[in-house]
């Protein structure tokens, strides 16, 4: 799926990384537990989380995750956006729950990392 398709599917808003909307991603992982994110061996996946803090962006950076989707309408701070921009990441926000977001994207063809 392209990032643009993901944004449309979850009625999302792109907060940074608009230049990457036509890039594709095949896998996603949903978690609020960043230690679980660090165990993922798949490259290039979408991280879906409701944990909106700088640590989430730092974890994504350490895991080479370029696509972050914050669920539950969580506020994303300027500090988070700045860090994401510094790392050439795409940040998306949706008002949908993590469960609904994951279900929609799975139904649209995005595959789980495991």
Q: What whole-number distance in Å separates Cα of residue 104 and Cα of residue 94?
A: 12
CATH of the domain at 17: 3.40.1390.20
Domain that holds residue 62: 3-112
What is the reported pLDDT for 5?
99
Q: What is the pLDDT of residue 82?
A: 98
Q: Across the 114 residues of the chain, what is the mean pLDDT of every consecutive 10-residue run? A: 99 98 98 95 93 96 96 96 98 98 98 95
Distance CA 6, CA 78 (A): 23
For residue 104, the model assigns a pLDDT of 99
Domain count for the chain: 1
């Amino acid at each position: 799926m392209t990032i643009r398709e993901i944004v449309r599917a979850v009625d999302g808003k792109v907060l940074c990384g608009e230049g990457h909307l036509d890039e594709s991603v095949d896998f996603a992982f949903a978690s609020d537990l960043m230690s679980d994110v660090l165990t993922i061996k798949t490259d290039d996946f979408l991280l879906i989380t409701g944990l909106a803090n700088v640590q989430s962006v730092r974890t994504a950076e350490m895991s080479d995750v370029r696509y972050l989707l914050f669920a539950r309408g969580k506020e994303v701070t300027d500090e988070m956006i700045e860090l994401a921009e510094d790392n050439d990441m795409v940040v998306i926000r949706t008002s949908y729950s993590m469960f609904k977001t994951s279900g929609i994207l799975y139904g649209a063809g995005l595959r789980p990392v495991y």
